[in-house]
Every structure is written in structure tokens, then in C-alpha cells.
């Protein structure tokens, strides 16, 4: 790095004003990590290089000015909005990085119900946008578990997905237009049109870039009519995941589009459903939309499930009550931290995707290997929560007791060996190692295997848009 | 030392939707749709007992540990977990009675178990449970057993001569005392007392061991002193409105907002206390 911390802080203060440049030591330490390293963080151990400053930007012009400064002086930039990342995307891999926080760019710029569009700045909270839309009978259709925490820039940057994705899609299906600033200072706007065939879809250079190519400043997403009164909620218990995957497949290949299609194995289910489904798998389906469509979808799904032996219907109220408590707000995050500190038991997740023919094998082999190979494991299970015509995802959930190791050894002793099993088994079977949390900094090791010969395209994007490598070093691609 | 830890399985009332607090003709609220948990004070009691056993183990005088609950089969999962966590016995006194406001019956059943079966000399339990909120079971149990009871306990450690070093909260501070069993300890707010989690190996090795089930009526008929007369009669139940409102303080700068917060809200409030 060419500049020292003091000079960086001085220049940032000149650009953004004193109030928008934070150098408090504790804030800097906490800004060097995300949820991936929360065990270390909880113990006050920070192993990553500490950033020079966290700067708060309030306009596209300010983002541009910061990026220009960073490029001219070869300083690593870590874009940030809601700070809910789970895969190390917010880790500052380089000494004296600048964390560029866009949470102050939190305006909902416009809601256009005629064209069914909502436009907001990158720091707009999804919860706030969704609440505002619902007051008027609309929804984004996006409902990740982190809805109370996450903001639009980060949600787009990670290719996030929500609980109603089987109908509304992932964020990539929702984004219509965007504004982003590239590290050369170029501000790019992609206009809002229903579709176009004017070359490749360049939105996808920006969506999912994890702050490694550009800084997202504005997002326009689709909106949908919100008609919860039409929802048809179905819940079943069943004996095994294989049957559950078969049911999901049959629903999808026959052209039905439930908004929710979730299948829990008994271990993961024990965290949620032990009061009515102990030791069982749980299948949850929801149809929504205009009443005739929701009713017909609900009925058809019931018929499909009824063909499979061993599926027992559950009163929908059980599912509804659970669903209403599913999201994570700051209170839940704080509670979890307290529990981890007291029990030294920590839970993490890894999410993968595969076609119908491989997904059950991936599930079985990973559960089997993790339970037999990883020490001190207290739970390994998972669920499928997003289904497609061609396959589904598997969201592995695992907890372990951290025993006989220092906080900074937790990741190497437990989390990475578990991730390694899941990622390697998934890639070996032909699936994708990342379904919706992004690559972050801890799956870059396998990124070439993930892409195969198409890695050329990814690498070229990075070289073209960020030739100096100042954008979120070590994210998506291994750091140079 | 033969320790009995009593716990109650309760619905996680934090998960109850606001509109579901409907009282039926039998003065019950339908809570079956939410997950069951171990009553948090009892969870502390169980963890504190395990911590005590860990420390006693180091001193090579490990105590016998029994976990006991009164209720229906929904407690079995928790009992199995406790088995996996190395409780020597996991006991359920099978009762389908409505015990929400009947601490005297719970105390009678626990005493009957101790006298007839467990022969325990230390009883640890949470001070109260969210369902019923009676805060009386440990005290009535102590009265029935004729044992001393220490309330608001936050930690227990082994002490010389098969004694216990007990820390508890008292009106004007914290008290540490050495107690010779028998005694009953009612756990209050205790730091670091989330229940530990068994590993899959522990569950495989111990979690499948049987849970002992004892019929409440049989236990009372053969070994119990009659319950003390009930102290209260349930007349009605209503939900407490816990909704909160908030105000967003406007201002250009942090300093302006601080001024507004102080002069419009805090100053008057501070003057009032
Ligand atoms: C409790 C919990 C539940 C979750 N549930 C889900 C879920 O259901 N579905 C799901 O998909 N994900 C989920 N996630 C993970 C997920 O990545 C995020 O919640 C969300 O997508 C991140 O948004 P954020 O605003 O918090 O971004 P941040 O955490 O601030 O950043 C995430 C990544 O995006 C980059 N980034 C942030 N802002 C910008 C920007 N303006 N321009 C360019 N890059 C940027 C960052 O550098 C980082 O790499 C969950 C996370 C938590 C903690």
C-alpha cells in the first residue's frame, strides 16, 4: 500500500467530512470481519488486517470520489451496506483498506405501481421497503431470513434469495435496472426496461459481484401485488428426504409454482418442529397470487403429495406460527451471541445447489461424512428451500462445540473442514458450491473447480473492470 | 451427593402470535402451536448442576445426577438430551393434570419421588416458570421435606466435607455460604447458564438410554404426603399488552439530536426519579 493510515484518514476526511470517517479502534476491528468470524469476534480476537477507516458515503458522487482516490493510491475498498454477510465478503484482507459503508444512502427513491417498479439507494433497508410496499398492497417478493438486517446494495451484490423464491425468483430475477460505480470512476446506469436483446445481459456483471467489481449505488426491482389473504399453506411430515425431493421435483416439472417449497431433514427440523414432527422430515408448501391461481396450485400440490405414502398432513397453523418467527432481527443476533459465549456451541451453514438426479446423494454423503469425520459435532442436517425446474438447493446447517482450541483456531478446526466436505462433494457430483450466500473469501479456493473452463470469463471480468485489484481483495477470486 | 434437578417443559411464549392469546372456557390458552423449551430458570438449574458435577469430578467425588420433570410425553425429547449430557437418571412423572397454578401438587410429587425412589439429598430447580409464574414450588417442597431452601441462587460449587458452596442474591448484595445437605436450591438469574449441547457421539452413546416414567397417581398413592392446600384459585386470565411505541428524533446532526433527546425526554424523566 502506498499510503499510510493517517494520510488515508486525512484524505477521506477532506472528501467526506469528519463525521463520515470513523477511526474508532473497536469499530475498525469489528469492520474487519463479518459473521463468518463471529466466534473470534465474540472473544475479542481479530486476526484480519485492520482497515484504515470506515467511511460513510451519501451519494453516487461521493462513492466515485472515494473509488478514484483508492485507485490512484492502490487502496483496497470493501463495500458494505447491512453488514449481514456470512462468507467473509466483508473481511478486510489487506492492511489499511477502506470500508465504504453505503447504509446512509437509504432513500426509497420512487415506487411506481403502474410499471410495477421500486427504486432505492443501496442502503435502503429491505424491511422498510417491504413494509412501505405492503401498506399499499404490494411486495418485492423478496424475503431472505435477514430481511430486518440486509440492505438493497448487499442483497444484490450477493445474489441473495428469499423464502418465496420458487415463485418470485432470486434477486437476479427481480432486479430491473441498476446504477453502479466502477473502480475507474465510471458511473454506469442500466435503464429500466421489461426485457432487451441488445447483447449480453450486463446486469449480471453487477448482480452478485460481492463488491469485487463495482460499487452498487442504486437498484430498481420489480414489485408484485401482495395478496396474503389468498395464500394456501400446506405442511406435511414424512419419513425421508428422498421422497421429499421426489415430491418437490414432481411439483416443479409439472409446472406448478409454489412461493414456498421447503423440505427439512429431521436434524434441522429438530431446531424448529420438535413439537409436532420429532424425528421426521417436514415438507412445507405455499401457493400465493390471485385466488383462482393460488387455490388451483394448492389443490394440485395436495394431490401430488397424496400419491406418496407416508406423508401426513399437518395443521397449517403450526407452519404459520413458525414462519412468522423465522426472520432474524438484531435482537435474535444478540441472543445468539450470548448463547455461543455461554455454551461454546456455534452453528454455521453452507448452501449448495444441484440437479434433481444428484441432490439427494449430495445430501446423504455430506451428512454421513460430516457426522463421522468432524469432531465435537452436535448437529448436522439441512433443508432445501428453493426449487427450480431442474433441481433444488441444499442448505446445510451444522453446529459444533468448540473444544480445546483458541477462538482463532475454530475456523480451521471445524468450519473449513465441514465446508470442504460440502463443497468438494457438491462439485464432484456436478452441483454448484454456492447457492445464495456468495463466494466470500472462504470458497475462493474452489472457484476454478466451480467454473471449469468458464473460469476464463470470470477472470477476464475481474481483469477488465478492476485491473489494479482494489475492489474487495480476495473475494470471489483468490487474492493476488 | 445425590442431586435431583427438577425442570418444567413450557411453550416458548416469545413465539406466540399476539392475536393468539385467547382464553378458553377452562381458562387455558392454546399454546400447542409453538415450540416447547425447558423453562429458562430450570435450564440454568440443569447447567449449574452439570457445572457442579464437572468441578466435583475434578475433586474425585462426582455426584449422582437425576433430571426429573412432571408432565406428558412431550418432555421425553428433553429427557433424552439430558441423558446424553450424562445425567444418570432421567425421570418423568406422568401427569396430564393442569399444573399451571398448582405448585403445591408439584412439590408433593417431587417430595414423594425423593422419599420413595430418588433418596436425593440436594434438590435444584428454577425459581419459577413463565407458565404459572408461581415462584413457590421450591419453597413448598422445602417445607414438605423439612429442609432449608436458598433462593435466587446463581452458582454452586463443591466444598470440603461433602458440602456445597452456594452463591445467591440477597436484598443488599450477594451471599456466599457453605451448606451441608440436605437442601433445596432455587436458581434465579445465573450468568453463563445456557444448557450445554451434547455431541452426536454423546447422543449415540447415551441418548438412547431409557427414560423412567412414573405414574403420578401411583406415586402419590404409595409414597406421598398429601399436597398442602392450594393457595390460590384461578379466576381469570388476560394477556398483558406489551406493545411499545417509539419516536424518531429528528435533527440535522448528532449534537442536535442529543439536545432534543435530552431536553424533550430525558430531562423531565430524570427529574422525576
Ligand atoms: C441471520 C442471517 C440470515 C440470512 N438469510 C439469508 C437468506 O435468507 N437469503 C440470502 O440470500 N442471504 C441470507 N443471508 C446472507 C446474505 O448475504 C445477506 O443477508 C445479504 O444479502 C447481505 O446484505 P447486506 O446489506 O447485509 O450486505 P453486506 O453484509 O454489507 O455485504 C455483503 C457483500 O456484498 C458486498 N456489498 C455490500 N454492499 C455493496 C454495494 N453497495 N456494492 C457492491 N458490493 C456491496 C460486500 O462487500 C459483501 O461482499 C443471511 C445472513 C444472516 C446474518
* Cross-chain Cβ contact B197/A321 below 8 Å: no
CATH superfamily of B2-221: HUPs (3.40.50.620)
CA distance A224 to B223: 66
Kindly report the protein residue whose alpha carbon is nearest to atom 11 of ligand 1. A160
Contact list, A379 vs chain B (CB under 8 Å): 197, 200
CA distance A175 to A218: 11
Contact list, B253 vs chain A (CB under 8 Å): 19
CA distance A36 to A408: 12
CA distance A408 to B180: 43
Question: Ligand 1: residues whose CB is within 6 Å?
Answer: A 34-35, 78-86, 89-90, 102, 122, 144-146, 149-151, 153-155, 157-158, 160-161, 210-211, 215-216, 328, 436-437, 472, 475
CA distance B225 to B141: 11
Torsion, Cα of B160, B161, B162, B168 (10° steps)? -50
Partner residue facing A321 (CB), from B15, B195, B253: B15
Answering whether pTM is above 0.90, one says yes
Torsion, Cα of A101, A106, A109, A115 (10° steps)? 90
Kindly report the protein residue whose alpha carbon is nearest to atom 7 of ligand 1. A144
Give the closest residue to B48 by CA, choosing from B166, B210, B159, B148.
B166
Contact list, B192 vs chain A (CB under 8 Å): 341-342
Give A 393-432 residues with CB within 8 A of chain B: 399-401
What Å distances lie between residue A208 and A143, A169, A204, A271, A370, CA to CA? 17, 15, 7, 30, 29
C-alpha cell at B182: 440436605
CATH number of A1-226+439-480: 3.30.465.10
Per-residue H/E/C for A237-289 = EECCHHHHHHHHHHHHHCCCCCCEEEEECHHHHCCCCHHHHCCCEEEEEEECC
> What residue has cell string 395464500?
A231
Mean pLDDT for the stretch of residues B247-258: 90
* Cross-chain Cβ contact B197/A401 below 8 Å: yes
Give B 15-34 residues with CB within 8 A of chain A: 15-17, 20, 32-34
Structural domain boundaries in chain B: 2-221, 248-273
- Closest-CA distance of chain A to residue B227, Å: 31
Measured in residues, chain B has a length of 273
Above 90 in pLDDT, residue B103? yes
CA distance B8 to B34: 16
Chain centroid to CA B151: how far? 12
* Cross-chain Cβ contact B33/A345 below 8 Å: no
CA distance A355 to A372: 26
* Cross-chain Cβ contact A378/B194 below 8 Å: no
Structural domain boundaries in chain A: 1-226+439-480, 228-324
Tens place of pLDDT for every residue, chain A, 480 residues?
579 999 999 999 999 999 999 999 999 999 999 999 999 999 999 999 999 999 999 999 999 999 999 999 999 999 999 999 999 999 999 999 999 999 999 999 999 999 999 999 999 999 999 999 999 999 999 999 999 999 999 999 999 999 999 999 999 999 999 999 999 999 999 999 999 999 999 999 999 999 999 999 999 999 999 999 999 999 999 999 999 999 999 999 999 999 999 999 999 999 999 999 999 999 999 999 999 999 999 999 999 999 998 999 999 999 999 999 988 899 999 999 999 999 999 999 999 999 999 999 999 999 999 999 999 999 999 999 999 999 999 999 999 999 999 999 999 999 999 999 999 999 999 999 999 999 999 999 999 999 999 999 999 999 999 999 999 999 999 986
Above 80 in pLDDT, residue B142? yes
Indicate the SS3 state at residue A162.
Answer: coil
Give the closest residue to A190 by CA, choosing from A218, A170, A168.
A218
Chains A, B: CB contacts within 8 A come to 55
Contact list, B43 vs chain A (CB under 8 Å): none
What's the ipTM? 0.90
User: Rounded to 5 degrees, what angle do the CA atoms A206, A208, A210 make?
Assistant: 95
Ligand 1 atom, smallest distance to A147 CA: 19
CA distance A89 to A32: 10
Report which DSSP code applies to A164: T
Range from A398-412, B132-146, B196-210, B232-246 carrying the lowest mean pLDDT: B232-246
CB B148 within 8 A of CB B142: yes
Q: pLDDT value at position B21?
A: 87
CA distance A14 to A36: 33
Interface test with B, best of A106, A321, A336, A374 (most B CBs within 10 A): A321
CB B168 within 8 A of CB B151: yes
Contact list, B198 vs chain A (CB under 8 Å): 378
Q: Cβ–Cβ contacts within 10 Å for residue A418, how many?
A: 22
Measured in residues, chain A has a length of 480
Q: pLDDT value at position A84?
A: 97
Mean pLDDT for the stretch of residues B129-156: 94
Report which DSSP code applies to B97: S
Beta-carbon contacts of B210 under 8 Å, excluding residues fewer than 6 positions away, are: none
Ligand 1 atom, smallest distance to A436 CA: 11
Question: Dihedrals φ, ψ of A220, to 5°?
Answer: -115, 125
Structural element, H or E, at residue A323: helix A316-324
- Closest-CA distance of chain A to residue B193, Å: 7
Contact list, A342 vs chain B (CB under 8 Å): 192-194
Ligand 1 atom, smallest distance to A159 CA: 11
Partner residue facing B197 (CB), from A273, A275, A378: A378
Above 90 in pLDDT, residue B234? no
* Cross-chain Cβ contact B200/A371 below 8 Å: yes
| A345 part of contact set with chain B, CB < 8 Å | yes
Give the end-to-end CA distance of chain A in Å, rounded to a whole number.
14
* Cross-chain Cβ contact A380/B200 below 8 Å: yes
- Closest-CA distance of chain A to residue B33, Å: 5
Structural element, H or E, at residue A109: strand A108-112
Kindly report the protein residue whose alpha carbon is nearest to atom 31 of ligand 1. A154
Cα nearest neighbour of B32 on chain A: A275
CA distance A432 to A393: 9
Tell me the CATH class for A228-324. Answer: alpha beta
**Got the DSSP string for B206-262?**
IITSPPEEEEHHHHHHHHPPPPPPPS----------------PPP-SSHHHHHHHHI
Ligand 1 atom, smallest distance to A143 CA: 8
Range from A5-14, A396-405, B108-117, B229-238 carrying the lowest mean pLDDT: B229-238
Q: pLDDT value at position B60?
A: 63
Of residues A183 and B239, more confidence is placed in A183
Helix runs in chain B, H state only: 40-58, 76-84, 103-113, 137-145, 200-202, 216-223, 254-261, 267-272
Indicate the SS3 state at residue A371.
Answer: helix
| A321 part of contact set with chain B, CB < 8 Å | yes
Contact list, B255 vs chain A (CB under 8 Å): none
- Tell me the β-bridge partners of A87: none
Above 60 in pLDDT, residue B12? yes
Helix runs in B114-253, H state only: 137-145, 200-202, 216-223
Question: Sign of the C-alpha dihedral, residues B48, A35, A221, A458?
Answer: negative
CA distance A212 to A171: 18
- Closest-CA distance of chain A to residue B29, Å: 15
CB A287 within 8 A of CB A294: yes
Q: Cβ–Cβ contacts within 10 Å for residue A26, how many?
A: 9
* Cross-chain Cβ contact A380/B253 below 8 Å: no
Cα nearest neighbour of A347 on chain B: B197
Q: pLDDT value at position A52?
A: 98
Indicate the SS3 state at residue A171.
Answer: helix
CA distance B205 to A377: 14
> What residue has cell string 456445597?
B164
CB A29 within 8 A of CB A50: yes
Helix runs in A17-170, H state only: 25-30, 38-42, 60-73, 126-135, 152-157, 165-168
Contact list, A321 vs chain B (CB under 8 Å): 15-17, 20, 33-34
CB A268 within 8 A of CB A351: no
Q: Cβ–Cβ contacts within 10 Å for residue A132, how many?
A: 15
Give the closest residue to A224 by CA, choosing from A337, A322, A137.
A137
Interface test with A, best of B35, B72, B74, B193 (most A CBs within 10 A): B35
* Cross-chain Cβ contact A275/B36 below 8 Å: yes
Beta-carbon contacts of A409 under 8 Å, excluding residues fewer than 6 positions away, are: none
Residue burial A237-272, b: 16+ Cβ < 10 Å; e: rest = bbbebebbbbbbbbbbeeebbbbbbbbbbbbbbbeb
> What residue has cell string 439530536?
B257
> What residue has cell string 435431583?
B4
| A231 part of contact set with chain B, CB < 8 Å | no
Q: Is A416 exposed, middle or buried (0-12, 13-18, 19+ CB in 10 A)?
A: middle
C-alpha cell at A189: 446506469
What Å distances lie between residue B221 and A321, A362, B70, B95, CA to CA? 41, 56, 16, 14
CB B149 within 8 A of CB B177: no
Amino acid at each position: 500500500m502506498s499510503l499510510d493510515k493517517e494520510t488515508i484518514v486525512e484524505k477521506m476526511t477532506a472528501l467526506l467530512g469528519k463525521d463520515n470517517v470513523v477511526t474508532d479502534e473497536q469499530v475498525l476491528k469489528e469492520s474487519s470481519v463479518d459473521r463468518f468470524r463471529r466466534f473470534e469476534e465474540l472473544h475479542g480476537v481479530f486476526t484480519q488486517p485492520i482497515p484504515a477507516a470506515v467511511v460513510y458515503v451519501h451519494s453516487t458522487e461521493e462513492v466515485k470520489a472515494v473509488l478514484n482516490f483508492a485507485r490512484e493510491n492502490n487502496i483496497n475498498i470493501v463495500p458494505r451496506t447491512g453488514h449481514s454477510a456470512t462468507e467473509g465478503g466483508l473481511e478486510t484482507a489487506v492492511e489499511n483498506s477502506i470500508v465504504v459503508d453505503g447504509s446512509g444512502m437509504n432513500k426509497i427513491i420512487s415506487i411506481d405501481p403502474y410499471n410495477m417498479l421500486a427504486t432505492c439507494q443501496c442502503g435502503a433497508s429491505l424491511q422498510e421497503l417491504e413494509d412501505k410496499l405492503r401498506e399499499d398492497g404490494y411486495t418485492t417478493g423478496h424475503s431472505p431470513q435477514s430481511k430486518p438486517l440486509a440492505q438493497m446494495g448487499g442483497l444484490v451484490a450477493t445474489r441473495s434469495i428469499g423464502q418465496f423464491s420458487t415463485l418470485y425468483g432470486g434477486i437476479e430475477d427481480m432486479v430491473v435496472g441498476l446504477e453502479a460505480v466502477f473502480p475507474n470512476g465510471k458511473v454506469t446506469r442500466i435503464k429500466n426496461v421489461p426485457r432487451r436483446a441488445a447483447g449480453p445481459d450486463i446486469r449480471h456483471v453487477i448482480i452478485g459481484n460481492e463488491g469485487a467489481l463495482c460499487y452498487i449505488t442504486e437498484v430498481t426491482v420489480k414489485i408484485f401485488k401482495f395478496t396474503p389473504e389468498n395464500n394456501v399453506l400446506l405442511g406435511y411430515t414424512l419419513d425421508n428426504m428422498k421422497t421429499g425431493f421426489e415430491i418437490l421435483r414432481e411439483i416443479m416439472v409439472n409446472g406448478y409454482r409454489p412461493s414456498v417449497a421447503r423440505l427439512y431433514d429431521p436434524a434441522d427440523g429438530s431446531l424448529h418442529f420438535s413439537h409436532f414432527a420429532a424425528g421426521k422430515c417436514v415438507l412445507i408448501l405455499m401457493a400465493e397470487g390471485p385466488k383462482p391461481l393460488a387455490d388451483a396450485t394448492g389443490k394440485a400440490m395436495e394431490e401430488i403429495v397424496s400419491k406418496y405414502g407416508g406423508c401426513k398432513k399437518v395443521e397449517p397453523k403450526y407452519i404459520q406460527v413458525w414462519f412468522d418467527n423465522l426472520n432474524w432481527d438484531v435482537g435474535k443476533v444478540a441472543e445468539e451471541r450470548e448463547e455461543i459465549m455461554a455454551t461454546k456451541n456455534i452453528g454455521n451453514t453452507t448452501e449448495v445447489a444441484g440437479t434433481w438426479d444428484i441432490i439427494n446423494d449430495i445430501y446423504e454423503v455430506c451428512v454421513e461424512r460430516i457426522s463421522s469425520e468432524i469432531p465435537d459435532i452436535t448437529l448436522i442436517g439441512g433443508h432445501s428451500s428453493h426449487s427450480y425446474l431442474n433441481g433444488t438447493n441444499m442448505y446445510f446447517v451444522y453446529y459444533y462445540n468448540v473444544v480445546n482450541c483458541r477462538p482463532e483456531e475454530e475456523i480451521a478446526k471445524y468450519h473449513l473442514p465441514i465446508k470442504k466436505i460440502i463443497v468438494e462433494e457438491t462439485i464432484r457430483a456436478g452441483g454448484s458450491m454456492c447457492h445464495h450466500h456468495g463466494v466470500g473469501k472462504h470458497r475462493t479456493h474452489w472457484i476454478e473447480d466451480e467454473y471449469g473452463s468458464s473460469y476464463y470469463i470470470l477472470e477476464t471480468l475481474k481483469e477488465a473492470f478492476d485491473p489494479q485489484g482494489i475492489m474487495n481483495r480476495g473475494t470471489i477470486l483468490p487474492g493476488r | 451427593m445425590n442431586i435431583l434437578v427438577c425442570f418444567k417443559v413450557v411453550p416458548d411464549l416469545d413465539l406466540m402470535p399476539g392475536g393468539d392469546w385467547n382464553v378458553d372456557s377452562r381458562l387455558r390458552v392454546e399454546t400447542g402451536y409453538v415450540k416447547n423449551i425447558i423453562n429458562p430458570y430450570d435450564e440454568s438449574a440443569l447447567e449449574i448442576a452439570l457445572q457442579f458435577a464437572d468441578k466435583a469430578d475434578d475433586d474425585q467425588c462426582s455426584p449422582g445426577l437425576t433430571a426429573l420433570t412432571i408432565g406428558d410425553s412431550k418432555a421425553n425429547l428433553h429427557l433424552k438430551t439430558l441423558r446424553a449430557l450424562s445425567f444418570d437418571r432421567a425421570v418423568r412423572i406422568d401427569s396430564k393434570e393442569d399444573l399451571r397454578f398448582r405448585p403445591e401438587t408439584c412439590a408433593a410429587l417431587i417430595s414423594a419421588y425423593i422419599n420413595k425412589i430418588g433418596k436425593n439429598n440436594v434438590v435444584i430447580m428454577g425459581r419459577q416458570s413463565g407458565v404459572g409464574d408461581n415462584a413457590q414450588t421450591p419453597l413448598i417442597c422445602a417445607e414438605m421435606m423439612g429442609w432449608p431452601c436458598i433462593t435466587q441462587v446463581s452458582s454452586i460449587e463443591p466444598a470440603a466435607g461433602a458440602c456445597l458452596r452456594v452463591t445467591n442474591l440477597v436484598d443488599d448484595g450477594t451471599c456466599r455460604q457453605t451448606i451441608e445437605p440436605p437442601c433445596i436450591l432455587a436458581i434465579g438469574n445465573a450468568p453463563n447458564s445456557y444448557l450445554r449441547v451434547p455431541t452426536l457421539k454423546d447422543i449415540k452413546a447415551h441418548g438412547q438410554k431409557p427414560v423412567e416414567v412414573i405414574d403420578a397417581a401411583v406415586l402419590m398413592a404409595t409414597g406421598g404426603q398429601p399436597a398442602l392446600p392450594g393457595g390460590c384459585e384461578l379466576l381469570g386470565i388476560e394477556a398483558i399488552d406489551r406493545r411499545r411505541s417509539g419516536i424518531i428524533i429528528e435533527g440535522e446532526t448528532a449534537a442536535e439530536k442529543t439536545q432534543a433527546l435530552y431536553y424533550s425526554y430525558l430531562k423531565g424523566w430524570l427529574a422525576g426519579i
